[in-house]
Amino acid sequence: MLPKENRLTDDYDFRRVKRLGKSYHCPLFKLSLARRKIKAESRFGFVISKKIDKRAVVRNRIKRLLRQAVRERLERIPDGFDIVFVVRPQIVGKNYEEVNSEFDKVLSKVSFPGPRLGEKTFSDR
């Protein structure tokens, strides 16, 4: 499970990321990210519709796979972002290695916006 400070739970924040965020696509999911108003830990949210699969067991497994991929890369992702994963139907039946490799591909495409004036950069830590 992700630490509490890394979870995106408020509906307002999900809508804000959708409205203001930049999106990156892959066959398994869409990743949207938006800068947070305050410089704090990055937070992650997962959207898995019943259209993906009606069974909660399958949807929960997909969330667990994505959470594990995020947890392994928390140090590589700079602070100050809200990130939302919107899952696509092609992810059903994929194993962890396939999800992991797609996550790496999308993460390599992401260009995290630079720091605001006076903020420390990712390399300053």
CATH code of residue 12: 3.30.230.10
Q: Total structural domains in the chain? A: 1
Residue 122 in any domain: the answer is: no
Residue 69 in any domain: the answer is: yes
**Comparing C-alpha atoms, which of 83, 122, 123 is closest to residue 103?**
83
Residue 75 in any domain: the answer is: yes
Whole-model pTM over 0.75? yes
Residue 48 in any domain: the answer is: yes
H or E segment to which residue 58 belongs: helix 56-72
Beta-sheet strands, E only, within the chain: 22-25, 29-35, 43-47, 81-87
Residue 88 in any domain: the answer is: yes
| Dihedral (Cα; 105, 111, 115, 120), 10-degree rounding | 30
24: containing domain? 4-108
Per-residue pLDDT tens over the stretch 71-121: 999 888 889 999 999 999 999 999 999 999 999 999 888 877 655 544 444
Residue 124 in any domain: the answer is: no
pLDDT for residue 1? 82
pLDDT for residue 57? 97
pLDDT for residue 119? 47
Residue 115 in any domain: the answer is: no
Residue 68 in any domain: the answer is: yes
